[in-house]
Amino acid sequence: MMASTDLAALWTSFELASLTTALLLVLCTPLAWWLANADSRARVLVDAVVSLPLVLPPTVLGFYLLIMLGPTGWLGRLLHAVGLPSPVFTFSGLVIGSMLYSLPFAVQPLRDAFQGVGRRALEVAATLRASPLDRFFSVAIPLASRGAVSAAVLCFAHTLGEFGVVLMIGGNIPGRTRTASIAIFNHVESLDYAAAHRLSATLLATCLLLLLSVYTVNRRLRAAIALA
């Protein structure tokens, strides 16, 4: 069987992926909605900024976070001034890093799904006395649900596999910031290939099961909603 620290690392990975996904879904839905509907020039800029984590190597992202959040960085100093501790080497720090790292994986499918809803359905809802907020929840969200599932799955999987950012700002603390990917790397580094194999295989198998179940549920949901 696997060492308890490895099990803990798996658990930390799943915790991180779940929390990151949940937070991103909540925060990115309004952003994606705005991107799908806005006409302003700012939209192009925001689109580009949101896509930045795609092109930035994760280690670079992690490195900049390390510097910015450290006691010499502007963000770290700001937090210190407000009385908050530095998020470096904490689970919260990992969540922040992961949210930045997986941001485009949440925003883009959601934005595309909202765009797919189209103007007409919302106009119809307006003529049926639905206020903008009402239209968002009663029409836009249900019609965009497929995109939301995509976003959640992509986000979760992407965060599970995250390495560079965690490596940089995690500090490898067992039970707190040692994720499965870090643990596997460590096993390889210390030439314990057997442990590396075990942990990798478990991670792979768990992910596969998770993805299969999500896609099955999604298919059933789709049949029920029968999106044209």
Partner 1 sequence: MTARLSARAVVFTLLGLLGPLSLPGQAAVADELSVAVAANFSGPLEKLAAQFEQASGHKLLISAGSSGQLYTQITQGAPFDVFLSADSDKPRLLEAAGLGVAGSRFTYAIGTLALWSAKAGIVDAQGKVLKSGTYRYIGVADPGNAPYGAAAQQVLRALGLWDTLNRDKKVILGENITQTWQFAATGNVDLAFVALSQIIAADGSISGSHWLPPQSMYAPIEQDAVVLVHGSHRGAAQAFVSWLHHDPLATAAIEAAGYRLAGL
Partner 2 sequence: MSLAVQAALRRPDFSLQVDCDLDAGGVTALFGPSGCGKTTLLRCIAGLDRISQARIRFNDEVWQDDTHFVPTHRRALGYVFQESSLFAHLNVRANLEYALHRVPATQRRVGFDAAVGLLGLEPLLAQRTQRLSGGERQRVAIARALLTSPRLLLMDEPLSSLDQASKAQLLPQLEGLRDQLSIPVIYVSHALGEVMRLADHMVLLEAGRVRARGALQELLTRTDLPVGHGLDAGTVIDAVIEAHDTEYHLSLVAISGGRLAVSMRNLPPGSHIRIRIDARDVSLALKPAEQTSITNVLAARVLELHADRDPAQMLVKLQVGADALLARITRRSVAQLGIAPGCALYAQIKSVALME
Q: Which residues bind partner 2 (CB under 8 A)?
A: 120-121, 123-132, 134-135, 138-139, 142-143, 225-228
Name the 3-class secondary structure at 90: coil
User: Helix 74-82 and helix 58-69: axis angle, to 10°?
Assistant: 40
Part in contact with partner 1 (CB under 8 A); list of ranges 115-123, 131-139, 183-191, 197-205: 183-191
Which residues from 47-86 bind partner 1, rule CB under 8 A? 66-67, 69-73, 86
Structural contact between residues 201 and 98, judged by C-beta atoms closer than 8 angstroms: no
Rounded Cα distance between 149 and 143, Å, is: 12
Which residues from 91-150 bind partner 1, rule CB under 8 A? none
List the one residue from 28, 144, 151, 167 that touches partner 1 (CB under 8 A). Answer: 167
Least distance CB 190 / partner 1 (angstroms):
4
Residue with Cβ nearer partner 2 (123 or 193): 123
Quick count: other Cβ atoms within 10 Å of Cβ 225?
A: 12
Least distance CB 111 / partner 2 (angstroms):
19
Contacts of 93 (CB under 8 A, 6+ apart): 65, 69, 86, 87, 169, 170, 177
Length reported for the chain: 228
Residue with Cβ nearer partner 2 (135 or 158): 135
Least distance CB 128 / partner 2 (angstroms):
5
